[in-house]
């Protein structure tokens, strides 16, 4: 519908104008040559993927726990608090891990842990409790805390000091844009799956096709009020299956990225033993 494709088309038009303007501008938005220096393209790709997955997964999971599991907004916030806490705890440790084993293995561990957390959230059902959600969000937080600082540090090591601010700002901008795109992509995957499940599960309910939009949007409480418990139960099941399917796809994507990162980023950033434990200077002989 126009309400969907007109803003998307306008966004692409603005992007095209910006690209054309940058090609002829004397003052560039960023140093494009620096972005091509390894491992910045790889770390930028990983950052984009993580931003997309995390923003989309977080939004869908928050809607699921409130609309289907019946969590209050406060409970929903508490369920995701573990991710923030683990991010704060493990972020300072990430550079140390990278110094010991290298950027590739560190990023692989981080992304792999995020994938495990997403897979755990994929196991959510209509009867899942608060503590299970908290646990899997905390696992995700560990992965983010280990992986993201290493990715940023790996990118910063490859560029001159005077360009660090520009590149860091560019990466932050790309991450923000990716988060918005991730919400749209994960929501679209979820919507397709919700629709297909609802057309099967809701077939026995009178006028079920007219409720499709409400089911896709997760308006389960409204369906309960207007159509009764049977319709709400079927709608909740369809919505849960749709969201968890999207989370599973996201988990597989992040797991593949973890494997690729291990080989692509290699041992960059690994500190040699001599640098960690420099030899003490010999005393001068009289």
At residue 209's C-alpha, the angle toward residues 224 and 240, to 5°, is: 55
Question: Could you give the number of structural domains in the chain?
Answer: 2
> Can you tell me the distance from the alpha carbon of 189 to that of 187, in angstroms, rounded to the nearest whole number?
5
> Can you tell me the distance from the alpha carbon of 189 to that of 249, in angstroms, rounded to the nearest whole number?
9
Q: What pLDDT is attached to residue 48?
A: 85
User: Are residue 71 and residue 137 in the same domain, yes or no?
Assistant: yes
CATH of the domain at 199: 1.20.1250.20
Half-sphere exposure of 61 toward its Cβ, with a 13 Å CA cutoff?
Answer: 32
User: Are residue 196 and residue 88 in the same domain, yes or no?
Assistant: yes
User: Are residue 145 and residue 214 in the same domain, yes or no?
Assistant: yes
Q: What pLDDT is attached to residue 283?
A: 56
Average pLDDT score, the chain: 84
User: Are residue 159 and residue 107 in the same domain, yes or no?
Assistant: yes
**Cβ-proximal residues to 221 (8 Å cutoff; 6+ apart), any chain:** 67, 232
User: Are residue 193 and residue 212 in the same domain, yes or no?
Assistant: yes
User: Are residue 23 and residue 149 in the same domain, yes or no?
Assistant: no
> Can you tell me the distance from the alpha carbon of 200 to that of 215, in angstroms, rounded to the nearest whole number?
13
User: Are residue 244 and residue 144 in the same domain, yes or no?
Assistant: yes
User: Are residue 102 and residue 234 in the same domain, yes or no?
Assistant: yes
Residue with structure tokens 């805390």?
Answer: 145
Which tens digit of pLDDT belongs to each residue from 180-201? 888 888 888 899 999 999 988 8
User: Are residue 136 and residue 5 in the same domain, yes or no?
Assistant: no
Which tens digit of pLDDT belongs to each residue from 68-91? 999 998 999 999 898 889 999 999
Q: How confident is the model at residue 236 (pLDDT cuts 50, 70, 90)?
A: very high
User: Are residue 53 and residue 19 in the same domain, yes or no?
Assistant: no
User: Are residue 22 and residue 51 in the same domain, yes or no?
Assistant: no
For residue 12, what are the domain limits? 1-30
**Cβ-proximal residues to 201 (8 Å cutoff; 6+ apart), any chain:** 234, 237, 238
Q: Which two tokens stand for residue 177?
A: 């844009």
């Amino acid at each position: 519908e126009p309400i969907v494709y007109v803003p998307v088309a306008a966004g692409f038009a603005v992007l095209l104008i910006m690209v054309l303007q940058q090609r002829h501008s004397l003052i560039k938005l960023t140093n494009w040559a620096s972005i091509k220096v390894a491992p910045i393209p790889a770390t930028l790709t990983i950052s984009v993927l993580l931003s997309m997955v995390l923003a989309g997964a977080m939004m869908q999971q928050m809607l699921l726990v409130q609309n289907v599991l019946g969590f209050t907004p406060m409970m929903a916030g508490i369920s995701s608090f573990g991710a923030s806490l683990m991010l704060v705890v493990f972020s300072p440790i990430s550079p140390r891990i990278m110094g010991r084993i290298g950027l590739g293995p560190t990023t692989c561990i981080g992304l792999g842990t995020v994938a495990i957390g997403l897979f755990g959230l994929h196991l959510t059902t209509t009867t899942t409790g608060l503590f299970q959600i908290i646990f899997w969000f905390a696992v995700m937080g560990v992965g983010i805390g280990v992986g993201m600082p290493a990715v940023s540090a790996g990118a910063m090591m490859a560029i001159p000091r005077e360009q660090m601010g520009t590149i860091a700002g560019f990466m932050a901008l790309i991450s923000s844009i990716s988060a918005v795109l991730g919400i749209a992509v994960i929501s679209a995957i979820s919507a397709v799956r919700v629709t297909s499940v609802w057309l099967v599960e809701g077939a026995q309910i009178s006028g079920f096709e007219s409720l499709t939009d409400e089911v896709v949007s997760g308006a389960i409480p409204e369906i309960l009020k207007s159509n009764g418990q049977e319709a709400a139960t079927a709608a909740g099941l369809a919505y849960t299956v749709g969201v968890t399917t999207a989370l599973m796809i996201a988990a597989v994507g992040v797991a593949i990225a973890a494997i690729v990162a291990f080989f692509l980023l290699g041992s960059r950033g690994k500190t040699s033993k001599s640098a960690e434990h420099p030899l003490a200077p010999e005393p001068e002989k009289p």
